[in-house]
Structure 1
Amino acid sequence: MRPEHTPEVAQQSRSGSARAWGDARSRSIWQWQLMVALSAGTIAIAIALLEPEVYALATFGGGLILILLLTCATLAAPWPRFGKHVIALVPALDIVAIGMLYAGNDARLGFLWVFPIAWISTYYGIGWLIAALGEIAALVLAHAPTAPLTPDLALRLLVVLLCLGLLGMTIQIGARRTRAFSRLLRRQSAQLTRTLHRVEAQEAGAAALFESMETGLARIDRHGVILAANRAYRALYGIDDVPATRPASAVEYDDYRGFALPRDCTTVARAARAEEFENERVWLFDPHGAWRALDVSSRVMPDGPVETPGILLTVHDATGAFRAAQERQTVSSIVSHELRNPLTAIAGHTDLLLDRDDLPPGVHDQLAVIENASARMQRLITSALSAHAAPAEDARAELDLRTVMMASVDAFQPTAHAAEVEIRSIVDGDLPICGDAFRLRQVIDNVLGNAVKYTGRGGLVTISSARSGDAVELVVADTGIGIAPDDLTRVFDRDFRAQTARDSGIPGTGLGMGIAREIVDQHDGTLTIASTIGVGTRVTLRLPAASTEGITA
């Protein structure tokens, strides 16, 4: 390793004017010296062609040789080791070499002094400039005995010295301003860097606070894209990355085990329309198969100077409070119910005592007080039982399967669009059934999701439904990778995945179709699959039809 590249020298190059300047300084010295050498060389070639007799002068040749030696020494010297005083010797010797070229001639070659004067003026103070001009004047006077100093020559030399001095002063003023401006820029750059570090630290702190909050937070833009979401929100909705353009893996419902919200009625869709709402209860079926009660609020964020305006969604998981309320309700009901039995015994025996005629005086009045208190307590218990009675959960109801089907199609449209897969729906009239809308939505979501997932770009997924006698039939057909005949018999087995699915590299658990089959069996229906590798898969769902009266839309 060369000495000028050591860390110690690099450290010196960053401190003060008398300290080593580093490689940038070396390049500057090389550039200045090469300008002097090239100019002198060009003039030497021109003189060789036009006035070859000048080479007869020893001083002329000596000046050229000195410039050549100075140039070689400049290129070879380890300049980071030297201070500015040593470096000043180079332009000073250039002045001497140019003076040797000038010796015995007129003032034409004196214009070469422009280069060392400009060099000194750029990097040194006024004292150095005056010393350089004095050196030039001394060289001119030193050569006066060999070349008579005529008035014309003296005037020309005076003009050259004045021009060189004016040029040097101008360059020096410009260099001083440049250095001042450079220092100002460095200070401002350092200040901006410190400000940037403070801002980054503040942003990091805000991001850490945003991420650590237990309340789910998400920023939504006008197009329904989740621009930012903290850990709590991502965990609730099963979002892996943000910005998120695809629907979350969790599904929002209007009520516990109710109907899935249409895509344009979800909290994200409403936020994208700049709707503001406060603590609205939304039921979420999360990616882990658990129900969660959420209190959701939205606020329109003010337009900032940099960030895109959007809407802030605040999601509070109220499942714990909801379950605690249910437990209190259960405990209250149990306690109220258990209090009724001893109160009934107290009231009954009080009535028996009141019917007796052999009681001491005043006892009847005391028993009447007990009877009235018992009756009042009975009324309080009855009221408590009525207030805390849990509504009976009846998941099955008459509904239109078409509504569940179209909600599932609507939910998978963004995913299909991103995968360049077309979903085509064909519905033939009402599809009245009696069933659990939530569980049936799970079946359709699983079948339709598999069709979209295993169909390549440009493929087609068709979902059709129709009434067939006393049954309702729903068919999902795709142009995907298909399933081998040997795998078709095991599709409904737990944890089983077809070989074509495993070879595709698409992740999956092998649980969905088994769960779907169980739900369909609970509804007295059938779920069948037909498939051909490379052609596609056809899944048929048949459920008993119900009368069209009282259908829940």
Structure 2
Amino acid sequence: MEKLLDVLLLGRVRFHDLNLTGRVLLSQLPLNLTMFLVCAVVAVVDPRKFRDPSFLAAQAIAVGLFALCAVIPWQRLPYGTFLVIPFLDFVPVTFVRSSASDALSGLGLLAVFPMLWLAGSGYRARLMVPLGGVASLVMVWAPLVPAGTVDARSLAAQLMTPVMILAVGVGASVMTASGTAQQERVEELLERSETRERLLDTVLETVDVGVIVLDAEGQGMFANSKQIEVYAAALPTDGAAGHETEMMIYREGSEDPLPPEQWALERALAGEEVERELYRLGKGAEARTVSVTVRGFSDAGGAHAGTVVASSDVTDVVAAVRARDRFLSIMSHEFRTPLANIMGYAEMVQDDPLLSETSRSDLEVISRNAQHVNQMVDDILAAAVTGTDSAAIRLPLDFAELVREAGASSGPDAKRRGIRLSVETDGALPVVGDRTGLVRVLDNLVSNALKYSGSGTEVSLRASRDGTWAVCAVEDHGMGIAPDELERIFTRFGRSTSVLGTGIPGTGLGLALAKEVAEKHGGTIDCTSEVGVGSTFTVRLPLRAEARS
């Protein structure tokens, strides 16, 4: 009963939330209320109708049908049995129409209530609506029989009311069918949404990444167990709950706690972008290093709806990288001392005028190979030292001058190999950069060109301006590189298969490091090559702003 009243008062309970008996009672209630209204109006207009047996019978039948709706256990009967009530409703409507139509007009329209019930039930509407139309027709024709006025004219005069009621029934049936289809679609979408939500929850609990979702106000909506586990390391370890601002969050490599306004989440809420930034949570052996990325998301209307924070625990990865870098650094430094001794003593012995030509030739081989090993050690050391490029001081430079210096420093090596080295520059090329890094790039490209070219060939360096770019092209006429290997040569430790078969020494680090330096300067480095013809490596760096016009 409480649910029934809630539906009538437009509360939180909806019609379909009621049991079958409640829905039957609610469907019957409009007719009974209208019949009660008819009694009230008749009491004012023509009280004599209360002495008419037909009028009283109509009211009694309506009350009796309402009582049947309440006492019959409809849920125990076959579904659709309850539709006998709207067909029986046509009986009291017939009696009240025939007995009070002279006092009140339009009483035949009371048949709309049982017709709406039949059409709105959704149960075999194609059958129930026509039967309701027949019942409406019987309602208007049946009173003509006892009156003895059954003829074509009188029958035709009563057709409008049944036709109108049938039209209402057809319209209600169509809308009910459409509403039912929409409801089924909504239920299907809700089921899919629930399934996707469960899938998302399962995925977020399965992946080894901490995820927290905040709403547009910055309040937490969701956090998976990995997020809770990772950030537990940042909580104070003194046993107290601690205030949020006392969390132990540090920049990776720093021992100074970050103030709350510099935390990744706070910065993201303030509108900044955070992309894979490293933070250390906690101290000591229990500290965790996390890579944090923050993304905002929008609702269907494009308005900001919240923020997603993803935290990857990279503690073991960072430790492994540091161990590798320490190993490479130590190994490289351990090589430097004996190599320096070898090259130094070889140079000293070469200066001896009494040295035979055979011994001098042997010493040149020793010196040359020691230089190759030294270059390899330099490449390994450069790869082991991380972060130096980002911290390097960048100053105004003339890229054309650096190209000329690279040609000059490589001239003796080219002469010894029997290779002609030419340098062409087209005026000054002002750039802003790290001189050491750019010299390393040019030296690497020139040394590679000489290393992989044969005696009697030519290597050329050409520096020029191309729009807003300073360009240096290093061209050789050596063995060349296969097209499918052009990308691999710019990866660390990546070398062409044709080179591997020649026995020419190298680590495969030089070009990778050169590419990194060029990109950190906002430039590019690429290669065009043809096997057996030669290769051209091109470096592009942005010109200084004042030199672009």
Same fold? TM cut 0.5: no
Normalising by structure 2, we get a TM-score of 0.43
